[in-house]
Amino acid sequence: MRKYQLKLYITGKTARSEQAVSNLKSLCKSNLNDDYELLIIDVLDSPELAVQDQVLATTTLIKILPLPVRRIVGDLTDTQRVLLGLEIKV
């Protein structure tokens, strides 16, 4: 089991969503020591999951583990803000 369990909600394979994914991956690589699991969910493919998780907007990143559960919304370009929002101290 990885230390970080992440879920990323995107809408379609657009340039923006692909940018968000790549931002996140590079962030994870340099800050989470690659010790993470990331589940990417396209709301176009699985709208029911978004409802279940009560996702109000995309791009939304949910940190499931370690607790507390935190979610952030936005373009994930500002690493510091992402880490702050996820309450991850590095």
Partner 1 sequence: MKNETISVLIVDDNPDLIQSQEYILKKAGFRTFTAVGGKDGLRMAQSIFPDIILLDIEMPDLSGIELLKILKADTLTSNIFVILITAYLKESDHQVKGLESGADAYLTRPLPSKLFLAQFQVYADHVMALNLVKKSEAKLNKVIQQNPDPMLVVNQEGIIIFSNPAAEEMFRLKTSLLGKEFGFPAVAGTKSIINILTGTNEIKTCELRVTPIEFDQRQSYLCSIRDVSHLIRYENELEKLNRLYRVLSMVNRSLMTIEEETVLIQTIGSIFLETAEFDLVTLLLCPCHFKTAEPEKFVFGNDQKRIPESDLFLYLDEPMVRENILTHKKQLIFNSIKNSVINQYELRSLGIFPVVVNEEVRFILQLFSKEPGFFDKSEIDLINEISGDISFVLKHVESERIRKEDEQQLAAQKELFERIINTIPVMITRFDPKTNVTMVNAEFEKKTGYSNDLINRINLMEEAYPDEGERQRAADYMLRAEIAWEEFRVRKHDGGYLDSIWSNIRVSSGLLIGIGIDLTDKKLIESTIKYAQIKGEELSRIKANLMANMSHELRTPMIGILGYAEILEEVATDSEILEMAKIINSGAQRLIETLNLILDYSRLEAEKQSFDLFDFDLLTLAQEVIRLNDKTAKKKNLSVELKSDHKQVTVYSDERAFFQIFNNIISNALKYTLNGSVTISISVLEEDETEFVEIAIADTGIGIKPENLNLIWQEFRQVSEGMGRNFEGTGLGLTITKKLCDLLGVKIRVESKENIGTTFLLKLPKSTSTKKRKTVTRTSVEELTVSSDKLATLLYVDDEDTPFEIVSMHLAKICKVQHARNGEEALKLLEGDEKFAAILMDINLREGLDGVELTRLIRKMPRFALLPIVAITAFAMPGDREIFLSEGCTDYIAKPFKRDSLIHTIKKYIV
Cis peptide before 68 (omega within 30 of 0): yes
- Closest separation in Å from C-beta 37 to partner 1: 20
Give every CB contact of residue 10 below 8 A, 6+ residues apart in sequence. 17, 20, 21, 40, 41, 42, 43, 58, 59
- Minimum Å gap between C-beta 19 and partner 1 is 10
Least Å distance, CB 33 to partner 1, is: 20
| Binding site residues, partner 1, CB under 8 A | 11-14, 16, 43-44, 47, 50, 54-61, 70-78, 81-82, 84-86
